[in-house]
């Protein structure tokens, strides 16, 4: 049996790869990569490596997750090392858990090589601190689900000092705004949309929860940061965004996200 490396490719900039990730890619035999892995990062792989795109974009799957799991196990039987290259960090919304379970059941050795997750890349591009100690003491990472049976956001964990990071908010910003308002977030709470973070086509748009519905769609992949840190004027943000009534209302109203 060979070994499978689950490597984080980061948000796009190849210079954000870890030294270990860069070394493994330079000596790679075969790389199964997500669609969101940038061409610049793929260019870091060995010229002799076989590259296989197993990603998903706009809901279109080249392979099912079970098929990807089976490929990893199959290649590990004939190759000394197999690289599973994922955008951002493998452990953050990357289905690494399902792949790890398949590898364990098949008795395949594996190793996780962390990467810079999109939340950190987007915050760096926007030039903000996700945990500014003056106004933010916690970060909540979530994806935005439009399914009726989607998981309910635990609004009890969202307070005036929470920075909410929504991965994959989609193109309908109006729906996102509505859900956030229904959850009790103030309309004037700042937010920032970051598209193609750290890449050559990156874009940053500053807004608020209430104004979000009127914002023009930015190209995917995009990420939404919501909270008092998502303002260009952090110094001016006092308790005006959240009173005690707002905080109580947030904790009492679940919503689907």
Catalytic residues: 34, 56, 168
Residue listed under structure tokens 């008092």: 228
Nearest to 88 by CA among 1, 10, 186, 35: 10
Distance CA 178, CA 213 (A): 8
Structure tokens at 210: 């209430």
Structure tokens at 147: 């399914």
- Sheet containing strand 3-8, strands side by side: 50-53, 30-33, 81-86, 3-8, 109-113
What is the CB neighbour count within 10 angstroms for residue 207? 19
Going by the DSSP 8-state scheme, the letter that residue 49 receives in this structure is: P
């Amino acid at each position: 049996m060979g070994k499978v490396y689950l490597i984080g490719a980061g948000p796009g900039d190849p210079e954000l790869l870890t030294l270990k990730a860069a070394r493994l890619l330079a000596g790679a035999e075969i790389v199964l990569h997500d669609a969101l892995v940038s061409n610049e990062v793929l260019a870091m792989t060995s010229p002799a490596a076989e590259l296989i795109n197993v990603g998903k974009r706009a809901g279109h799957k080249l392979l099912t997750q079970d098929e990807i799991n089976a490929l990893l196990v199959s290649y590990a039987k004939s190759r000394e090392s197999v690289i599973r290259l994922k955008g951002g960090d493998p452990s953050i919304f990357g289905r690494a858990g399902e792949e790890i379970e398949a590898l364990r059941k098949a008795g395949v050795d594996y190793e996780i090589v962390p990467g810079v997750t999109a939340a950190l890349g987007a915050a760096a591009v926007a030039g903000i601190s996700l945990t500014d100690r003056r106004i933010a003491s916690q970060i909540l990472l979530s994806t935005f689900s439009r399914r009726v049976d989607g998981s309910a956001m635990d609004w009890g964990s969202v307070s005036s000092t929470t920075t909410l990071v929504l991965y994959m908010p989609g193109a309908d910003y109006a729906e996102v705004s509505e859900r956030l308002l229904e959850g009790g977030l103030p309309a004037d709470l700042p937010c920032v949309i970051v598209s193609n973070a750290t890449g050559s086509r990156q874009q940053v748009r500053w807004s608020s929860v209430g104004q979000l519905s009127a914002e023009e769609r930015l190209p995917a992949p995009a990420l939404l940061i919501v909270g008092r840190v998502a303002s260009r004027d952090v110094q001016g943000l006092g308790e005006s965004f959240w009173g005690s009534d707002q905080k109580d209302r947030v904790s009492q109203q679940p919503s689907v996200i």
